[in-house]
Amino acid sequence: MPDTVTTSDKNSRHADRMARKKAVIDAAILSADQEKGLLLVLTGNGKGKSSSAFGMLARALGHGMKVGVAQFIKGRSDTGEEAFFSQQSGVEWHVLGEGFTWDTQDRERDIEKARAGWEVARNMLANPEIKLIVLDELTYTFSLGYLDLAQVLDDIAARPPMQHVVVTGRGAPQALLDTADTVTELMDVKHAWRAGIKAQPGIDL
C-alpha cells in the first residue's frame, strides 16, 4: 500500500520537525525570564489602537489588577469602553479635555487642559497600586505642541518598576518609540468610514 507508506513517512517527518521546533521554542521561553513594567506604544493610521489597549485593560482586570485610563484629546463621554470599564471596580477613568483643536479652536485653553490632564496622569504614574495605565490618544498632545515630550518621558520613566503603560495615537514621536519596550504600528488597509459608513457603536465607540 504505497499510500499508507507515504502517509506514515509524512507523519514521521512532521513529528521530527515539531520536536525540533518545540526544542527551539522551549529554549526561547526559558531564556525570556525577566519581569518588568512595560511601555507599549500602539500607533499608525489603522483602526485598532485604542481597542487593543482596552483589550489589555480587560486582561489586567481579569487578573485582579488595578488599572487607570487617561483619555486625551477626545472629550466625548459616550464611548462603550468608558460606560463599561468605569463601572468595574479597580478602574480609575479620566476623560481629559473636551475635544481639542478643530472642536474648540481655542489653543490656549487646550494647552491648559492638556497640562492639567498630564497632572492627573502623573498621579496615576506615581501610584504603585495601579498596575496598568492606558494613556489614550496621548500622541496628539505632542504633535500639537501641547505637552513637553521630554517631561512626559521622564515621568513615565520614573513610574513604579512593575507598572505597565500603554500609549495610543497616530504619529508617535521617535523618542517615545525608542523608549518603548513594545511598539505596534497598525496599518490602514481599508476602513468602512471611507465607504460612507458612520461610526458604529460596539465597533468604533
Query: How far apart are alpha carbons 110 and 146 in whole angstroms?
Result: 8
Pick one of ligand ATP, Mg ion, none as the site partner of residue 170 (Cβ within 5 to 8 A by kind). Answer: ligand ATP
Cα separations in angstroms, 167 against 1, 43, 107: 60, 8, 23
Strands 164-168, 130-136: pairing is parallel
Report the candidate in 116, 111, 182, 118 with the shortest Cα–Cα distance to residue 154.
Answer: 118
Please report how close the Cβ of residue 190 comes to ligand ATP at its closest, in angstroms: 9
Report the candidate in 106, 185, 178, 111 with the shortest Cα–Cα distance to residue 148.
Answer: 111
3-state secondary structure (DSSP) of residue 198: coil
Decide if 165 contacts 37 (C-beta within 8 A): yes
Pick one of ligand ATP, Mg ion, none as the site partner of residue 66 (Cβ within 5 to 8 A by kind). Answer: none
Which of residues 127 and 173 has its CB atom nearest to Mg ion in the complex?
173
Pick one of ligand ATP, Mg ion, none as the site partner of residue 47 (Cβ within 5 to 8 A by kind). Answer: ligand ATP
Residue nearest to ligand ATP (CB): 204
Query: How far apart are alpha carbons 29 and 49 in whole angstroms?
Result: 27
Please report how close the Cβ of residue 82 comes to Mg ion at its closest, in angstroms: 13
Q: How many residues does the chain have?
A: 205
Q: Is position 141 an interface residue for Mg ion (rule: CB under 5 A)?
A: no
Pick one of Mg ion, ligand ATP, none as the site partner of residue 205 (Cβ within 5 to 8 A by kind). Answer: ligand ATP
Please report how close the Cβ of residue 150 comes to Mg ion at its closest, in angstroms: 24
Query: How far apart are alpha carbons 148 and 119 in whole angstroms?
Result: 12
Q: Is position 139 an interface residue for Mg ion (rule: CB under 5 A)?
A: no
Chain residues in the site for ligand ATP (CB under 6 A): 45-51, 137, 168, 170, 188, 191, 193, 199, 204-205
Pick one of Mg ion, ligand ATP, none as the site partner of residue 110 (Cβ within 5 to 8 A by kind). Answer: none
Interaction residues for Mg ion, span 40-79 (CB under 5 A):
49-50
Pick one of ligand ATP, Mg ion, none as the site partner of residue 51 (Cβ within 5 to 8 A by kind). Answer: ligand ATP
Decide if 130 contacts 92 (C-beta within 8 A): yes
Which of residues 163 and 168 has its CB atom nearest to Mg ion in the complex?
168
Residues of the shown chain interacting with Mg ion in the complex, contacts defined by CB under 5 A = 49-50
